[in-house]
Amino acid sequence: MNILVIPTNDWMRAPGRGHINSIAEELAARGHNVYAWNFDFYRNEAVKRTPRNVKLFTPRTLPIRDPALFFSLNALFQGPAVFKTMRDLKIDVVINENVLSGLVAFLASNSNVLRVFDFSDYFPESASIYYTGSSQAMKKMVEVFTLAITKLNIRFSQICLAVCRSLINAISTMNENKPCYMITNGAYTNKCTGLNTENKKNPQEIMNPSGVIIIMGVIDDWLDLETPIEALKILGNRFQQLRLVIIGPWQKKEYKTKVEEFIKGRGLESRVEITGYISDEKLAEYLRVACCSVIPYKTDSYFSVIRLPEKLFVYSAYGKPVLSTPLPEVLALRCEHVFIYHDSEEFARVLSAILDDKNLRVEIEAKAKKFAREHDFKVLAEQLEQILVDGLNKLRAKA
């Protein structure tokens, strides 16, 4: 198949990867011709990752710093280039994770092209996050506009993908007859993390109570970092070597300042490390020595209702116990290596039990890796490949 991917953001420089990126790279590794539209919104940032097997197109863009204006105006500006690319490359499938540029690609495609909308996030809310410092009227306008465009994407697609059950339900609410498939987030469990079957660790080497608690991902005020920090304070006397490492780019300086002041107020400056963005290689070093990983999302918004975060799968690939706030989509998976906490005392109590029981840590590692293997990007690519083949066959049968 000739596949064109319209990702959610800049493939090489964005703070995080889109849902479809790694799966698309695996589709390319399986012999398909995969092309990706590369936005240049983060043009002044360092390259954080390079594409594997996927061929990137980086068309000219208007240098606009406002994300809504950047994607809106450039979607129109790049329309002719999208049309020419699809025609020249004889595209069979368009996978769209960007509600503006992807809609242009849908409209530019002919009747023989399978149009797939990847509803990887609740886009109206994720778009308005960029405007948390703006007025409520501005945020509402962004949400209304993005919701309208999202509905158009669903309407013009022939197939929808979603990362969790809540988003599948949201699609059904907007278009009850739309075929929709769940393709979760995932992780690599092969040599990328050193967890291939030829590299098994001795159970006696699993987790040292003097290790670290890991929180990774894009850091913003949708997270509750105060509770894990407070739990570290509670655990301090028993596990004096234990420390918390917060890894990832911060979206807002104000939130970082607030967290740093909270750390200082608890006297934990020497036991909490804030790294900012780091390379995948450095992240792997931290994850290998971690004794615990955390999913600390707040639970008071729709954002948390539809959240099945990628970090769950990455943590699992490293065999780590996961402490999570009660996110509905995480609870629905019933993972035996995931432990739910509601406050700092419960966090400290659960982690103490894990650190005190070596046999439990061995069991957790096995269960976490089993879960990760079931959601490896190679497995997800096979699932998506079958969906695309079936969709193309049905489309061509109608023709």
The whole-number pLDDT of residue 321 equals 96
pLDDT-derived band at 199 (thresholds 50, 70, 90) equals very low
Residue 274 pairs with which residues in a beta bridge? 246
Task: Give tens-digit pLDDT for 108-117.
Answer: 999 999 999 9
The whole-number pLDDT of residue 75 equals 84
Count helices and strands in the chain by DSSP H and E runs: 16, 13
Mean pLDDT of 387-393: 96
Categorise residue 230: left if φ over 0, alpha if ψ from -120 to 50, beta otherwise. alpha
Task: Give tens-digit pLDDT for 47-105.
Answer: 888 888 999 988 888 888 877 778 888 888 888 888 899 999 999 999 999 999 999 99
pLDDT-derived band at 191 (thresholds 50, 70, 90) equals low
Residue 299 has pLDDT above 60, yes or no: yes
The whole-number pLDDT of residue 197 equals 37
Q: What ranges in 46-163 are assigned the alpha helix state H? A: 67-77, 79-88, 101-108, 123-128, 136-156
Which has more confidence, 175 or 44? 175
Residue 305 has pLDDT above 80, yes or no: yes
**From CA 4, how far away is CA 36, in angstroms rounded?**
6
Mean pLDDT of 371-387: 97
Q: What is the DSSP letter of 131?
A: G
Residue 134 has pLDDT above 90, yes or no: no
| Close Cβ partners of 149 (under 8 Å, ≥ 6 residues apart) | 99, 100, 103, 123
**From CA 343, how far away is CA 310, in angstroms rounded?**
23
**From CA 82, how far away is CA 140, in angstroms rounded?**
30
Mean pLDDT of 236-253: 90
The whole-number pLDDT of residue 128 equals 67
Q: What are the structural domains, with CATH classification, of the chain?
A: 2-186+377-398 (3.40.50.2000), 203-374 (3.40.50.2000)
pTM, rounded to two decimals: 0.89
Which residue from 22, 32, 26, 31 is spatially nearest to 1, judged by alpha carbons? 32
Residue 380 has pLDDT above 70, yes or no: yes
What phi and psi, each to the nearest 5 degrees, are found at residue 293?
-125, 155
> Percentage of residues in the chain with pLDDT exceeding 90?
63
| Beta strand segments in 85-219, E | 93-96, 114-119, 159-162, 180-182, 212-216
* Amino acid letter, residue 294: V
The whole-number pLDDT of residue 196 equals 40
**From CA 74, how far away is CA 67, in angstroms rounded?**
10
**From CA 243, how far away is CA 245, in angstroms rounded?**
7
- Residue corresponding to tokens 């005020």: 221
The whole-number pLDDT of residue 158 equals 96
Which has more confidence, 198 or 61? 61
